[in-house]
Structure 1
Amino acid sequence: MIRIAQQNDWVIFLIVGCIFLYVFMLLSLKRDSTVKEFLRQKFPDSVNNFLSWVIISVVFCVLFAAFISPFIPVVPEKVQAFSFFGFELTKFGFALATISGLTLVRSLFSYLFYAGTGSLKKWELFYFTASKFYFCASVGLMILCLINFYFTLNPFKAFGIYTSIFFLLFIFKLLFYFLHANNVLPAKWYYKFLYICTLQIVPLIVLWRVLFF
């Protein structure tokens, strides 16, 4: 049997493109800030927070979709039935569309949640703080993508290890939101509980259900 080597050059192109986006963000939007300066930047001293948050969200969605795409068992037939100019969605395209759509919906409902609970003043502070977490997480995803696509690993063991890593990362994110000095969550405890359940846990369950079942 002739084994055709899998071409993973597209992963490198994605990572390089994401790095260029971050360089643009730091040099242009953040006024020649270094990574360390960006992560340590205080809210009153920050600029272009919304645009930076959008760029970081795009980079995270692209990298996460690339990373998780090899583990998706199959693209659903209903999704395959849709084509764009004769092109069908690959596993990466399916993952990217799902993650991007879910991220957009969650961001919209997060804004409505902050507005509905009288915490709209904290909304900009929230995505300013969250952008730092997702920036670090996306850098980690770059490394995981390289390991996942360019090193020979047992897929079942790797999936178990990656699932554990992302579970711990999810728990860390919740603690990061709860304990951060910026106090980004609504003040009342039941609003915090409602946010965690509806806008953190539920989207994760939906993502798992769509991609893997």
Structure 2
Amino acid sequence: MPSSPNYINYVRIPENNDWVIFILIGCIFLYVFMMNIVERDASLKDFLLQKYFDASNNLPSWIITSCVTTLTLSALISQYIPVVPKFIADLHILGYQLNKFGYTLLAVMFFYLIKSTLGFLFYQSIGDGKKWTIFYFTSTKFYFILSFLLIILCVSHYYFPVDRNKIFIYYFFFFSFVFIFKVFFYLFHKNKILPEKWYYKFLYICTLQIAPLLLLWKLLFF
């Protein structure tokens, strides 16, 4: 009886990245809403160059920008997470189990909430609470531009033929440069958003910039 031939299935199952499109469309919708409603039909140039005392609705703009940054950053780096911790994977929210994106989103949200809360308490504790509003007004401009770069990276990462293993090192250098640039941006911005004394400036950078970032790295990659 003749033996049956061995067939190798070379059919490639395409990766479903529809969830990325939904996230990016949602982020664009949030920015359209922000520019047309919250910022009252402000142009991109006017929004980026507006002065603190001429601006309005700073808090909603900061919240929307933070949400977009959180979503796009989570979408970009979630595929590099080695594994979802078991105690997180065992959680079922409304019958759904958290995947890598869900876990990354929770970690990044936790990162921003803790950092923002501690930042507010830091300014209050040194008696410079009024500068906190100027701080998040100025940081909104920085994260607004960063979020657009993250949107571009998400599109190229998921919808162009790139080697995701090789490109990780470029992401690492990119985010390292962004972090260093952000520190200098905060230190030397004309709005003087950091405390005047250099002791408090270094205290802020070490405790509210570097330490939370190391915590986020540990949560995601260890």
What interval of TM-score do these two structures reach, taking the shorter chain for normalisation? over 0.9
Give the equivalent residue in structure 2 for 1:123.
132
- The alignment partner of 1:92 has SS state of helix
Structure 1 residue 177 and structure 2 residue 191: aligned? no
User: Is 2:208 the partner of 1:203?
Assistant: no
Match in the other structure for 1:78: 87
Q: What whole-Å deviation, never above 9, does each CA across 1:143-188 have from its counterpart, x for those lacking one?
A: 0001111122222220000000000000000010001000000111
How far apart are 1:85 and its partner, in Å? 2.2
**What do the CA deviations read for 1:74-125 (whole angstroms, capped 9, x no partner)?**
1111110111122110111000000001101110110000000111110000
Larger radius of gyration: 2
1:16 Cα offset (Å): 1.1
Question: Which residue of the partner structure matches residue 34 of structure 2?
Answer: 25
Give the 4+ runs in structure 1 shifted more than 2 A. Answer: none
Alignment-derived partner of residue 158 in structure 1? 167
Q: How many residues align?
A: 213
In the alignment, the residues of structure 2 paired with residue 88 and residue 202 of structure 1 have an alpha-carbon distance, to the nearest angstrom, of 30
> Residue 18 of structure 1 aligns to a residue in which SS?
helix
Distance between the aligned counterparts of 1:87 and 1:30, measured in 2? 36
Q: Between the two proteins, what is the percent identity of the paired residues?
A: 49
**Counterparts of residues 1-213 of structure 1 (less than 5 Å):** 1=9, 2-213=11-222
- Measured in 2, the distance between the counterparts of 1:118 and 1:187 equals 12
In 1: Cα distance, 2:36 partner to 2:164 partner: 39
Whether the aligned pair in 1 keeps the contact of 2:157 and 2:164 (CA below 8 Å) is no
Question: What letter matches 1:3 in structure 2?
Answer: R
Give the gaps of 5 or more residues in structure 2: 1-8
What TM-score results when the alignment is normalised by the length of structure 2? 0.94
The answer for unaligned runs of 5 or more in structure 1 is none
After TM superposition, give the deviation of residue 3 of structure 1 in Å.
2.2
Distance 1:156 1:9 in 2: 21
How far apart are the structure 1 equivalents of 2:210 and 2:148? 23
Amino acid at match of 1:62: L
Letter in structure 2 aligned against 1:167: S
Report the Cα offset of residue 45 of structure 1. 0.6
Q: Distance between the aligned counterparts of 2:73 and 2:160, measured in 1?
A: 18
SS at match of 2:207: helix
State the distance in 2 between where 1:211 and 1:188 align: 34
Cα offset for 1:138? 0.2
